[in-house]
Amino acid sequence: MYLQLNDIMVEFAFLHYSRFYNNQKLYFYQIIWILNYLFDLMESFIKPPDLLIYLKASVPTLIKQIERRGREYESSIRLDYITSLNNRYNSWIEEYSNRKLIINMDDLNITDNPKDLGFVVDSINAEINGLF
C-alpha cells in the first residue's frame, strides 16, 4: 500500500525521538521517505499520457493467453499471483483520474481475429477523435 509522506515523517520522528527503534526500521523509513520524495519530484515533471488504454481481462482469459503463448517462464506463474496482480491493476485503473479507455478483452481475440483487432483500433480512434 502506498504510504503518505506525512505518515512516514510522523512515525520517523516518533521513532527517532522516543528511541524505540532499531537501525533496520529507521533505515526502512529513510528509504521510503527518499523514494516518495523522488516519486513526487518526478511526477511534477512528467505529463500524463493523452489517453491511457487499458486492455482489461478476467483471470480465465489471462490464463488462456498465457497458455496460448507457451512461454516456459510464464508456465510457473501461480494462479493466486495472477489473480492478485489483476485485482491490483483493475483497482488502479478505476482510480486513474486522467483520460482513459478501458476495453474488455474477454470476448476479443485480436491475435487471430482481424475484426476484433479492428474493433480495438476503432475504439481507440473514436476516443482520440471524439467520435462517440
Confidence band, pLDDT 50/70/90 cuts, at residue 2: very low
Q: Are 61 and 82 in contact (CB under 8 A)?
A: no
pLDDT higher than threshold 80 for residue 89: yes
CA geometry: angle at 113 spanning 78 and 107, to 5°? 50
CA distance 36 to 44: 12
Spatial CA neighbour of 130 closest among 50, 74, 68: 50
Q: Which long-range contacts (CB under 8 A, 24 or more apart) does 27-30 make?
A: none
Coil, strand or helix at 86: helix
Q: Tell me how many helices (H) and strands (E) the chain has.
A: 5, 2
Mean pLDDT of the residues in the chain: 84
pLDDT higher than threshold 60 for residue 1: no
pLDDT tens readout for residues 44-80: 888 888 899 999 999 999 999 999 988 888 888 889 9
Mean pLDDT, rounded, for 91-114: 94
Higher-pLDDT residue of 44, 106:
106
Query: What's the pLDDT at 11?
Result: 60
Percent of the chain predicted with pLDDT > 70: 80
Look at strands 52-56 and 100-104 and give their pairing. parallel
pLDDT higher than threshold 70 for residue 39: yes
Query: What's the pLDDT at 94?
Result: 93
